[in-house]
Structure 1
Amino acid sequence: MTASPLSRIHTPMPPAPNVRSTGDLRADRRYEYARAAFDERDFEAAADLARQVLELAPDFAAAHAMLGRSLAEMGVPEEALDALRRALALEPADELGVRLDLARLGALAPDEAITEGYVRALFDDYAPKFDRHLTGSLAYRGPELIADALRRACSERGREARFGPTLDLGCGTGLMAQALDGACLSIEGVDLSPGMLEKAQKTTLYDALHEGELVSFLSNRATAEADLVLAADVFVYMAALDATFREAHRVLGREGLFAFTVQAHVGEGFILGEDARYAHSEAYLRGLADAAGFTVVIFERVSTREDRGVPVSGFLCVMQR
């Protein structure tokens, strides 16, 4: 979720707690020095320190990733690719997000750039500070926008803004459930990150929480069992959404609603943006709605968050089965 404009933008690495120790204190220290140098954009120093780490711990995937990213920034793509591929071979679940770097360098299709392992690791680390950072630093308001859109959609349809069984996809820490507190007969959430689910559990708003990938979660639900399916900013970590739309339509009962936000792409289909998130076009989303059998009730351009003080363009959608 395009490669050439991204090749000079380095991937934010998972913070230090997500990187396992090499078992060698000298190597661990050098790796931390390399991280610091990379963050200060001293890529030559970062590459040199990464090589020193690998002399002591040849199979340390994080150091191979560091070397590859540093070399990419230095304009040495072939050597960068070798190092990144070695990192991925050592850590195929890709908790380090190496596939994003490979996509940026044109060595991997953009729709293959983000893995479940990367998202899980990213949000497990993010969980303790998620709410504070998202609603404070990023001015995030996706759940509030969705809740308001649902009220307007129900008003247009002449129905009360109260919902039967609800499924919250990518529920995170439970911000969506908080925005709809009292409006759902029951609500269940699913998320890849155990850390996020632990925070969601503490809200006491969910009837059940599930760890897993959202399409698989939906595919295991009964047909027509839900009245509302929600996805607040979760699709930014997914490329193709065909299966999600099909399964959401299947699990919704008659006149059930599907409400979600995405980042906006002005072209066709979807792209992997410079912020390592996917953006989807209006034509793509409307096409999926038609194919799945949804009626579009609300389709609006919104911004659910800011990036360095600048609103990020997105779409807010409410669809009816």
Structure 2
Amino acid sequence: MTIASQHSSGDILADRRADYARMLAEGGDFSGAGELMEQALEISPGWAAGWFRLAEYAEKAGSVPTAATALRRVLELAPEDPFGAGLRLAVLGAAEVPATPPTRYVEQLFDDYAQRFDAALVEKLEYSVPQKLAALVADGISSERFVHVTDLGCGTGLFGERIRARAGFLEGFDLSANMLAKAREKQVYDRLAQADLSLPPPECGVFATGLAPGRTDLASAADVLMYLGELAPVFEIAFALIAPGGHFAFSVEDAASNETYVLRTSLRYAHGKAYVRRRADEAGFDLLQSRQTVIRMDAGAPVTGRLYLARRR
């Protein structure tokens, strides 16, 4: 279910047509669903979520121009783009791939997902990054215990649970308030706060008042970088955060080795190995280990990713 299906137009007639459109779509008649959504939008032309739903139906019906026009209308009505319309335009080939997704889209996505995140990701999608990344840290770093660990994009705390026993102090940052609330319930973190890893270090929230640079000897980013295209900002954050000689463990979805980053139809980014190495080196990191692995299932197919362990120079 997308965010578009959660919003009413505010007009009972438009909503009724949209409901009929949804039923047609559920039955596989996307052309008919699109026609009914167009009727709903004639009644309520300022309904951004309705235009996004029309784009979904049009795309599934094979009408890319109609979908692209509807998505552009979404962006006019909702410039902060909580629907990810700009990403969808890029996937359709109707716009350039953005360097980062809209902050409001990512925040809304994970706020909506928080309640069912652990069950959906671990049990249904066989998500395995937290345990595999923790194993990479255990194999690659001889220290039995870290004084300070920072979990960037901590989500509900799946990696935090696996590193807690080795962390003297464990802090987590995430863009989603609802994800942070779920992490707080687990009581494994010493500090939790919001942060936006797409922003430069002074603005991201990781260095808010009282949170000093160079304070951590291990930082992690488990299943986070696939929601960023350009990786320079997050490497800058990690470099400022980690003490010299400290480590950064992170995962990406794997693109071809000669690619920089690509936007998949899942609206997640995949990154090429050479690009990751270059960005890490430019930021002041040496890559120590890289492991290719299946990180999750998606629509019944395995998604290949890569786990990295880097050391700050």
Q: What TM-score do you get using the length of structure 1 for normalisation?
A: 0.88
Counterparts of residues 110-149 of structure 1 (less than 5 Å): 110-112=97-99, 114-149=101-136
Cα distance, 1:113 vs. partner? 6.6
Give 1:274's aligned residue: 265
Q: Determine if contact 2:207/2:213 at 8 Å carries over to the other structure.
A: no
Q: Determine if contact 1:165/1:226 at 8 Å carries over to the other structure.
A: yes
Give 1:231's aligned residue: 221
- Give the counterpart of 1:303 among 294, 306, 310: 294
Give 2:185's aligned residue: 202
Deviation track 1:119-148 (CA, whole Å, cap 9, x = no partner) reads: 111111111111001110111111101111
SS in 2 for 1:107: coil
Cα distance, 1:57 vs. partner? 1.5
- Give the counterpart of 1:153 among 127, 140, 144: 140
How far, CA to CA, are the matches of 2:243 and 2:117 in structure 1? 33
Give 1:213's aligned residue: 196
Give 2:158's aligned residue: 175
Cα distance, 1:115 vs. partner? 1.2
Structure 2 unpaired stretches of 5+: none
Give 1:103's aligned residue: 90
How far, CA to CA, are the matches of 2:147 and 2:26 in structure 1? 48
How far, CA to CA, are the matches of 2:84 and 2:213 in structure 1? 35
Give 1:184's aligned residue: 167
Q: What TM-score do you get using the length of structure 2 for normalisation?
A: 0.90
Cα distance, 1:254 vs. partner? 2.1
SS in 2 for 1:312: strand
Report which structure shows greater RCO (CA 8 Å, sep ≥6).
1
Counterparts of residues 62-77 of structure 1 (less than 5 Å): 62-77=49-64
How far, CA to CA, are the matches of 1:58 and 1:171 in structure 2? 39
How far, CA to CA, are the matches of 1:35 and 1:138 in structure 2? 26
Tell me the percent identity. 38
Q: Determine if contact 2:88/2:267 at 8 Å carries over to the other structure.
A: no
Q: Determine if contact 2:99/2:228 at 8 Å carries over to the other structure.
A: no
- Give the counterpart of 1:164 among 129, 147, 150: 147
How far, CA to CA, are the matches of 1:93 and 1:37 in structure 2? 30
Q: Determine if contact 2:75/2:86 at 8 Å carries over to the other structure.
A: yes
How far, CA to CA, are the matches of 1:61 and 1:91 in structure 2? 7
Q: Determine if contact 1:224/1:253 at 8 Å carries over to the other structure.
A: yes
Change (3 A) 1:71 1:302: same
How far, CA to CA, are the matches of 1:312 and 1:301 in structure 2? 11
Q: Determine if contact 1:262/1:280 at 8 Å carries over to the other structure.
A: yes
- TM superposition outliers: structure 1 runs of 4+ over 4 Å: none
